[in-house]
Amino acid sequence: MSTISLTARALLLDMDGTLVNSDAVVERVWRGWAERMGIAPERVFAIMHGRQGYSTMAELLPARPMAENRADNAVLLAQEVADTEGVVPIPGAPAFLTAIERIPHALVTSADTALADARMTAAGLRMPDVRITAESVSASKPDPEGFLKGAAELGVDPADCVVFEDSAAGIAAARAAGMRVVGVGARAASLAPTAFAPTLERVAVTATADGGVRLAVSP
């Protein structure tokens, strides 16, 4: 596969799995929940990435009241905020965030504000000024609401945005928003993103004269 070139007016960035590797924490916390619920942890791990916790719970336990899912989700979020052991940047993330500092961009994450702050801090990464977190939306990825709100906050048409994502739910949300998507990491490899990069080290960033960006993405 050859390098793919994309141009955009703005970039929308997922956090977990895209900028930050938090898999160790996520699996610790969700394994405990799965065992309490009598669910095989592997079933949880297969669908949890990229979405808010209550959405994962609802798929696994369709008869359970949503109020119980949201209450459990709040407990798990607090556990994840308190546990940052093993949280590290995705290779290339620090340099990538430096390269796009003057280019319109936003963080669009299924984490809440406290968790986003905790993980970006633990990974030593700069927090984007524009952030769409769990509190900002009424629906979890794969619903496109978060990405559409990110584009609106930046004042950019969805078609002029490129999303960086790692998960099936996130890539589906980007597509539903009418946006192109750079898939980052192993989870994204089989999901047919517009372009694929094993890590952010494989993404070259060039600012354009009109205030946008050109991306060269190498598989």
Judge whether 18 and 111 are in contact, CB under 8 Å.
Answer: no
CA distance 23 to 80: 11
Active site (annotated) includes residue 129? no
Q: Are strands 213-217 and 88-89 parallel, antiparallel or unpaired?
A: unpaired
How many residues would you count in the chain?
A: 219
Active site (annotated) includes residue 14? yes
Q: Is the dihedral of CA 89, 90, 96, 100 positive or negative?
A: negative
Q: Are strands 213-217 and 4-8 parallel, antiparallel or unpaired?
A: antiparallel
CA distance 219 to 37: 39
Catalytic residue among 14, 72, 112, 143: 14
Catalytic residue among 16, 112, 143, 166: 16
- CA-based angle 138:128:178, to the nearest 5? 50
Helices (H), 8-158: 23-37, 41-47, 53-60, 66-82, 93-99, 113-122, 145-154
Catalytic residue ranges = 14, 16
